[in-house]
Amino acid sequence: MLYTNRQLLSGLICKYLKYQTNIKSISSNTYKSYATDLRQFLNSLNSFNESHKKITNYKDINLSALHFALSRWSKLKPSSRNRKHACIKSFLKWMYTEGHLNDPLDHHVICPKRPNKTPNFLSVDEVISLLRYLKSEIKNINTHKNQYQTQRDYLLILLLYSGALRVSEACHLKWKDFNSRQCQVLVLGKGNQERIVSLPNNVSFELNQLERLGPYIFSNTLKPLNPRTAYKIVRNSGAACGLTQPLNPHALRHSLATHLLSGGMNLRTLQTLLGHKSLTATEKYTHLSLDQLSEVMRKSHPLK
């Protein structure tokens, strides 16, 4: 029951997280998000329990406790609330299935509709300009340490774009996952799903020029590059190059997806490249620029 002691619920949350890790094979990032959401949920339930100790109607109190806890997130953005509500919905469903709830409560959790937001993307010219700028910066560096970092930053952005990688995927890439002969990298994506990403020959060649100072491609230590550091590298590089809008790693991934679709790649192939489980996730990349739309209309309209 939700209206119960904190220790019992805390133990159930631990069991649920183990279930998600061992059975559902969620990623470490998803695990952290779930753990944070469930901890906040538990804290809200504890606040509710403290102020409703005299109530004994457990069926009604469970529902009241649930609504009270969810209301704590009412001021968050729809996308954030959607994720948190989906986590709680899954947890409640698991609790009922495992016999820890007498009544199913998951259908009382409504996931807010996420806005259809198209991420920013760069034009092909902007990508080329960015990469040329970063490569020219390597030649202007004198010290070995700065040269490594500058080359690392350039190759990180090059790979984020050319392989359409998620930032966490790029940060955790190891040298053993890089096949220079086949021009491929083995990527560990969401849900611990592996996929092979083919790279252009010149990208593979340039990646091979980076000094190998540890097991991870983009780190000179035994630990992978922190995704926050990668975000900072991409943002600062975009600003230094003179891009008009702030740049982030996902924009590079989105840019390649857009460019490949514009070049004629079909959605199924793009889905495999991006590592999406469903085609629905890939369809958001099908937007067209006004120039492309005009061209399609000119060639395909029945009244042309």
Catalytic residue ranges: 166, 190, 250, 253, 276, 285
Backbone torsions φ then ψ of 187, nearest 5 degrees: -110, 135
The strand pairing partners of 179, in sequence order, are 184
The strand pairing partners of 188, in sequence order, are 194
- Of 17, 261, 259, the C-alpha closest to 162 is 259
What distance in Å separates the CA atoms of residue 186 and residue 196, rounded to the nearest whole number?
5
Q: In a 3-state reduction of DSSP, which class is residue 33?
A: helix
Is there a contact between 274 and 191 (Cβ–Cβ < 8 Å)? no
- Using only C-alpha atoms, what is the Rg of the chain? 24
Helices marked H in 52-123 — which ranges?
58-71, 78-97
Q: In a 3-state reduction of DSSP, which class is residue 119?
A: coil
What distance in Å separates the CA atoms of residue 91 and residue 85, rounded to the nearest whole number?
10
